[in-house]
């Protein structure tokens, strides 16, 4: 079973030599077209998740489906293998089903649009883009149900479907799809925006053909892929060891009382081939935290990480994929059996970044090793009927602390994805019945280090209407680890203050929580781990952090720095404290600082379990108590 491209012009294209100046001109023009796809989408989409936050991933690929410019790696190959049909000029394909494309799209809220690019009757390229829809139907508003046990509970599944046939919109199919979602107007506008972005890219590719010729443009795409492959071959040979290297980390829980779940990966090199083996990863979860990790998607993660560390000027694309071998056992958290639920896959996806960063960095920690902190993409859902009786539905992505790095401190309250931005508070307050009363970093939440881990965020949401909320977050049990003497980051907490003054500590994963007008939610995210010896950090930098309220006066002592009441460094007291702390620590500084182990955390009594809060959430107390038993 495979898709068949129908062409009226079947004259074969010759691969020709292209001079370096022309290659650069076409490469940069394609890069600009990829950026223009984002611009078109952001200006025409309607939902805050896409329009304001940028939860979308564009791509331009060659005729074989290999991404030449883009952000998330190509999913066209798996789609072509799964789609049993003919594709003609003017067709536009829509799908969202992970099981229909080998996990190339990893949960149902992500809708993919694929546009084959034709020139003079000949298929020459692809434009594609996917965006996260605010709703996909299913059990809960927002369509990421924690308690889902099969994908059928997560909303409408769209197999690879022709949204347009030969340029004609299939209105009955579109209306059928939109009939199954709660935010049909937003989804309609967002889908139209995805189509417009892809059509813009197709237009730009044809403009390049008109200027340079079809054989020149297509040959340049091949040059771009080949150039990336050779660069990655060099990186693999120099940064991936032949001796196996192992790392593991954990997802804290599945929201249904089970966990933690281990993700384990072994990395080594055989000749030019980098091998990543996830044998030892825990079996699939009962709930939606499973992550159907497409092998090519992981290759994209690997390539994006290494290229940005080694040479950010390289154009990232799919040219190197046959230099990487990814092995994921069937039936595990990262390759669950159909029809396992998948919607909450963000937790494992975030943890993959921590694992990958550790594997790649531990061989040259002073140059490449980041601490942990790309650990999750926290979500808040709030829905109900406002005072006018109209339905509202908020899907909000939050930010935690970015880890300390060889290059410097981790940013405070930053996105898992570099291209994401926060939804402006003014926008949220204008369109939803809530008020944001606090939006600030949490002092001392970033791990201490020569380079400080980024602080988490505390956002206080005042709900102005009765409704339901759902929360998706991680790192409430395990710590964002530090490296090279850097300390762990603080874990996340969620506190709900009712209008009568009572307080509830909410689980990191919960849904269907009833809130009343006037209730206040403190949504506190995790901090990034620290990098390097905190006692080697410039004391004046610590004092500056104290004055900026990023580090508390007492927290400065984690760096061995004594701050006076007028917020200056007490040099003599600092020298004495640092000598004392270095003596107590000794000279043996570990590569990783994980904090208490899973077994040690579970073994603590309930009274000892505080999780950086005055009292542990009741759900988390029960979870730890049951695990200890």
pLDDT tens across 36-48, in order? 999 999 999 999 9
Q: If pLDDT is split at 50, 70 and 90, which confidence band does 617 have? A: very low
Provide the token pair at 284.
């699939």
Provide the token pair at 530.
């620290």
On whether residue 66 sits in a domain, the answer given is yes
439 φ/ψ angles, rounded to the nearest 5 degrees: -145, 95
> Is the pLDDT at 618 greater than 80, yes or no?
no
> Long-range contact list for 307-313, CB < 8 A, 24+ apart?
307/231, 307/232, 307/235, 309/360, 309/368, 310/235, 310/239, 311/231
Q: 363: which residues sit within 8 A by CB, 6+ positions away?
A: 239, 241, 245
Average pLDDT over residues 592-608: 70
On whether residue 576 sits in a domain, the answer given is no
Average pLDDT over residues 174-181: 98
> Is the pLDDT at 611 greater than 90, yes or no?
no
Q: Rounded mean pLDDT of the chain?
A: 91
CA atoms within 13 A on the CB side of 12: 3
- Read off the DSSP letter of residue 453: P
User: What is the number of structural domains in the chain?
Assistant: 1
Give the C-alpha separation, 415 to 399, whole Å: 5
Average pLDDT over residues 298-326: 86
Strand partners, 162: 93
CA atoms within 13 A on the CB side of 75: 32
Q: What is the pLDDT of residue 278?
A: 98
Give the C-alpha separation, 401 to 527, whole Å: 4
User: How many angstroms separate the Cα of 586 from the Cα of each of 46, 561, 580, 582, 595?
Assistant: 57, 18, 10, 6, 17
Do 382 and 469 meet the contact criterion of CB atoms below 8 Å apart? yes
Q: If pLDDT is split at 50, 70 and 90, which confidence band does 619 have? A: very low
Q: If pLDDT is split at 50, 70 and 90, which confidence band does 418 have? A: low
Q: If pLDDT is split at 50, 70 and 90, which confidence band does 469 have? A: very high
Alpha-helical segments (H) within 45-130: 48-51, 76-82
> H or E element: which one contains 545?
helix 539-547
Nearest to 381 by CA among 150, 96, 48: 48
On whether residue 64 sits in a domain, the answer given is yes
Cβ neighbours around 72 below 10 Å, total: 21
Give the C-alpha separation, 158 to 176, whole Å: 11
Q: If pLDDT is split at 50, 70 and 90, which confidence band does 417 have? A: low
Give the C-alpha separation, 108 to 393, whole Å: 18
Q: How many helices (H) and strands (E) does the chain have?
A: 14, 24
- Write out pLDDT tens, residues 73-92: 677 887 888 788 899 999 99
- Write out pLDDT tens, residues 586-599: 989 999 999 887 77
Q: What is the pLDDT of residue 266?
A: 98
Q: If pLDDT is split at 50, 70 and 90, which confidence band does 416 have? A: low
Q: What is the pLDDT of residue 607?
A: 42
Q: What is the pLDDT of residue 596?
A: 84
On whether residue 626 sits in a domain, the answer given is no
Q: For residue 83, give its domain range.
A: 4-232
- Write out pLDDT tens, residues 250-277: 999 999 989 899 999 999 999 999 999 9
Range name among 114-128, 261-275, 310-324, 330-344 with the lowest pLDDT average: 310-324
> Is the pLDDT at 433 greater than 90, yes or no?
yes
> Is the pLDDT at 369 greater than 80, yes or no?
yes
Higher-confidence residue: 81 or 532? 532
On whether residue 39 sits in a domain, the answer given is yes
Q: If pLDDT is split at 50, 70 and 90, which confidence band does 625 have? A: very low
> H or E element: which one contains 57?
strand 56-62
Higher-confidence residue: 469 or 14? 469
**How many residues make up the chain in this entry?**
629
Average pLDDT over residues 434-453: 95
> H or E element: which one contains 123?
strand 122-132
Q: How far is CA 290 from the centre of its chain?
A: 15
Q: How far is CA 454 from the centre of its chain?
A: 17
On whether residue 439 sits in a domain, the answer given is no
Give the C-alpha separation, 103 to 80, whole Å: 13
Range name among 179-188, 229-238, 453-462, 602-611 with the lowest pLDDT average: 602-611
Give the C-alpha separation, 619 to 629, whole Å: 15
On whether residue 528 sits in a domain, the answer given is no
Nearest to 322 by CA among 74, 30, 57: 74
Higher-confidence residue: 607 or 377? 377
Give the C-alpha separation, 6 to 89, whole Å: 8
Average pLDDT over residues 520-527: 95
Provide the token pair at 292.
């159907």
- Write out pLDDT tens, residues 536-552: 999 999 999 999 999 99
Calculate what percentage of the chain has a pLDDT beyond 90.
76
Q: What is the pLDDT of residue 123?
A: 96
> Is the pLDDT at 189 greater than 70, yes or no?
yes
Q: If pLDDT is split at 50, 70 and 90, which confidence band does 609 have? A: very low
CA atoms within 13 A on the CB side of 87: 28
On whether residue 116 sits in a domain, the answer given is yes
Average pLDDT over residues 95-106: 89
> Is the pLDDT at 430 greater than 90, yes or no?
yes
Pairing label, strands 110-119, 92-95: antiparallel
> Is the pLDDT at 455 greater than 50, yes or no?
yes
For the CA atoms of the chain, what is the radius of gyration?
Answer: 25
Average pLDDT over residues 610-624: 42
Pairing label, strands 391-397, 56-62: unpaired
> Is the pLDDT at 496 greater than 70, yes or no?
yes
Q: 433: which residues sit within 8 A by CB, 6+ positions away?
A: 386, 387, 392, 463, 464, 465, 467
Q: What is the pLDDT of residue 466?
A: 97
């Amino acid at each position: 079973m495979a898709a068949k491209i129908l062409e009226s012009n079947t004259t074969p294209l010759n691969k020709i030599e292209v001079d370096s100046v022309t290659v650069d001109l076409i490469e940069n023009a394609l890069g600009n077209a990829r950026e223009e796809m984002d611009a078109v989408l952001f200006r025409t989409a309607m939902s805050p998740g896409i329009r304001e936050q940028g939860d979308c991933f564009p791509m331009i690929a060659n005729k074989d489906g290999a991404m030449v410019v883009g952000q998330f790696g190509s999913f066209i190959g798996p789609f072509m293998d799964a789609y049993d049909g003919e594709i003609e000029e003017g067709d536009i394909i829509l799908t969202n089903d992970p099981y229909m494309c080998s996990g190339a799209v990893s949960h149902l809220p992500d809708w993919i649009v694929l546009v084959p690019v034709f020139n003079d009757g000949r298929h020459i390229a692809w434009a594609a883009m996917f965006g996260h829809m605010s709703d996909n139907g299913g059990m809960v508003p927002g369509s990421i149900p924690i308690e889902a046990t099969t994908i059928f509970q997560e909303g409408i599944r769209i197999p690879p479907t022709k949204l347009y046939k030969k340029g004609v919109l299939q209105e009955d199919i579109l209306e059928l799809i939109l009939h199954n979602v709660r935010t049909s107007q937003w989804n309609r506008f967002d889908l139209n925006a995805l189509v417009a972005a892809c059509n813009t890219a197709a237009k730009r590719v044809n403009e390049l053909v008109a200027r340079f010729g079809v054989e020149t443009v297509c040959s340049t795409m091949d040059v771009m892929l080949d150039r990336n492959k050779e660069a990655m071959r060099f990186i693999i040979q120099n940064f991936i060891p032949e001796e196996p290297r192992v790392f593991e980390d954990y997802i804290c829980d599945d929201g249904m009382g089970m966990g933690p779940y281990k993700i384990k990966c072994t990395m080594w090199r055989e000749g030019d081939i980098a091998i990543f083996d996830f044998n030892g990863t825990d079996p699939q979860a009962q709930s939606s935290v499973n992550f159907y990790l497409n092998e090519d998607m992981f290759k994209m993660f690997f390539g994006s990480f290494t290229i940005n560390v080694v040479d950010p000027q390289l154009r990232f694309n799919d040219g190197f994929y046959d230099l990487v071998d990814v092995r994921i056992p069937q039936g595990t958290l990262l390759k669950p059996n159909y029809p396992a639920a998948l919607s909450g896959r963000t937790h494992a996806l975030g943890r993959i970044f921590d694992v990958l960063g550790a594997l790649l960095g531990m061989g040259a920690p002073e140059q490449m090793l980041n601490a942990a902190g790309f650990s999750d993409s926290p979500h808040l859902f709030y829905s109900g009927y406002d005072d006018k009786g109209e339905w509202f539905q908020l899907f909000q992505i939050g930010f935690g602390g970015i880890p300390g790095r060889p290059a410097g401190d981790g940013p405070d309250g930053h996105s898992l994805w570099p291209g994401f931005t926060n939804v402006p508070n003014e926008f949220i307050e204008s369109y939803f019945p809530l008020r944001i009363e606090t939006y600030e970093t949490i002092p001392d939440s970033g791990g201490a280090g020569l380079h400080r881990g980024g602080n988490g965020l505390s956002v206080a949401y005042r709900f102005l209407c009765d409704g339901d909320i759902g929360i998706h977050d991680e790192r409430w049990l395990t710590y964002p680890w530090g490296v090279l003497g850097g300390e762990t980051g603080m874990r996340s907490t969620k506190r709900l203050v009712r209008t009568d003054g009572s307080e509830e500590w909410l689980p990191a994963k919960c849904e269907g929580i009833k809130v009343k007008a006037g209730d206040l939610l403190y949504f506190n995210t995790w901090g990034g781990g620290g990098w390097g010896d905190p006692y080697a950090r410039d004391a004046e930098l610590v004092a500056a952090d104290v004055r900026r309220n990023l580090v508390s006066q007492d927290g400065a002592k984690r760096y061995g720095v004594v701050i006076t009441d007028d917020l200056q460094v007490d040099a003599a007291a600092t020298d004495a404290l640092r000598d004392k702390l270095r003596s107590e620590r000794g000279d043996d500084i570990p590569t990783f600082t994980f904090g208490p182990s899973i077994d040690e955390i579970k073994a603590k009594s309930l009274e000892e379990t505080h999780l950086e809060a005055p009292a542990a959430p009741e759900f988390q107390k029960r979870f730890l108590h049951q695990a200890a038993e």
